[in-house]
Each structure stands twice: as C-alpha cells, then as structure tokens.
Amino acid sequence: MRLVLLGPPGAGKGTQAQRLVAKWGVVQLSTGDMLRAAVAAGSPLGLKAKEIMDRGELVPDQLVIELIDARLDGADAVNGFILDGFPRTVAQAEALEALLEAKGMRLDAVIELVVDEAQLLKRVENRIRETLQAGGSVRADDNPETLKTRLEAYRKQTAPVSAHYAGKGTLKQLDGMAAIEKVAGAIDAALAS
C-alpha cells in the first residue's frame, strides 16, 4: 500500500496515518517528523529548517525531496508507506513521481481530508489550550499565529497539489471534519474501491 494523505495542519492526517500503519504494516513517512528530528539533533539540515518551521512557512523543496528519497525504498517500507505532509507543493509532487518511477513504484491512492478552515482553526486552538492547561507541551509551531501562516501556506502552495492529483484522476476527497472513526471508515472504503 502506497498512499499520500493530503490535508491542512490539524486535519487529522497523523492520527489516520498511525491507524493505517497498524492496519497495513506500512511505514508513516512524515516530513514534519523528519525535520523536527533534524532540528532536535542540531544537524545542518535542522539548523537550516528551524527558523522556517517556527515561522510556519515551507522549507525548500529540495530538502524534503532528499529526505523522502532516502526513505521510499527503506527496509521499513517493504509493505509500503503513507506520505504524511509530503508532497506540499506541485514541484514536490512532480519530484515524487520521478522518484517513484525510477524505483519502479506507483501510488495506490491519494486521499485528501477536506476541512472547514474556520472550524479547523477553532479545533486546533482548543486542542493547544487544553494541552497547555493539562500541563503538556505543544510544538513550537502550534500557536494561533503560526497556525494561520501554516494554513495560508497550505492554501497557496498545497491546495494546487490536490488539483494536480485531481487532474490525474487519482484523488479521493473525504470529509475530514467528521469524527475520527467515521473518517477512518471512509478511508478504508476509499482504499477498497
């Protein structure tokens, strides 16, 4: 199973990806997680990415394309992968196509979790407040201001990616505002069809 999960920050991609990992025995490839690991490790890549991520903007395409290239045919991806947070620009989608072709692979599906942006913003803001009130910690870019920038980056740079896949006839759009189990059921149905 090789899958792309599209959707803005807070749409529930990570939650759904984790469930699919358990169900299909595939690996979740999240460029956000990889970049955060690089930042935590203080690697040259992390140093380059940190400020951009803290602002809520996208890091240069080449950085994430290299990260993904190294993982698509990794030992943990023998059963496939779920791309979560990649591709985020049309250039990344095109690079992914070239990488897959070179590796003799193809995508089984591209699923977009469609959300209402105003409701999403409230949902994420509530989640951040609750986490902080409970004494937990949130990501550096999980604050209302940065979230707005991240949503704007999604609208400007990532929405065209869904149009790109729609044009190829591979896109399946699902209601990402539904309850987690409902979204999960809709994903399973879309993958079975």
Residue of 2, 13, 36, 50 with catalytic role: 13
Residues 58-97 interacting with ligand AMP (rule: CB under 6 A): 58-59, 64, 85-86, 88, 92
150 is catalytic: yes
CB closer to ligand AMP out of 16 and 31: 31
36 has catalytic annotation: no
Q: Which residue is nearest to ligand AMP (CB)?
A: 32
Q: Clarify whether 2 is annotated catalytic.
A: no
Say whether 106 is catalytic: no
SS3 content of the chain, % helix, strand, coil (to 5): 60, 10, 25
Least CB distance to ligand AMP at residue 59 (A): 4
Kindly identify the residues of this chain, within the stretch 159-178, that bind ligand AMP according to CB under 6 A. Answer: none
DSSP string, 82-151: EEES---SHHHHHHHHHHHHHTT---SEEEEEE--HHHHHHHHHHHHHHHHHTT----TT-SHHHHHHHH
Residue 139 bears catalytic tag: yes
- The interface with ligand AMP within residues 4-63 (CB under 6 A) comprises 9, 31-32, 35, 52-53, 56-59
Enumerate binding residues for ligand AMP (CB under 6 A): 9, 31-32, 35, 52-53, 56-59, 64, 85-86, 88, 92, 141, 150
Active site residues: 13, 88, 127, 139, 150
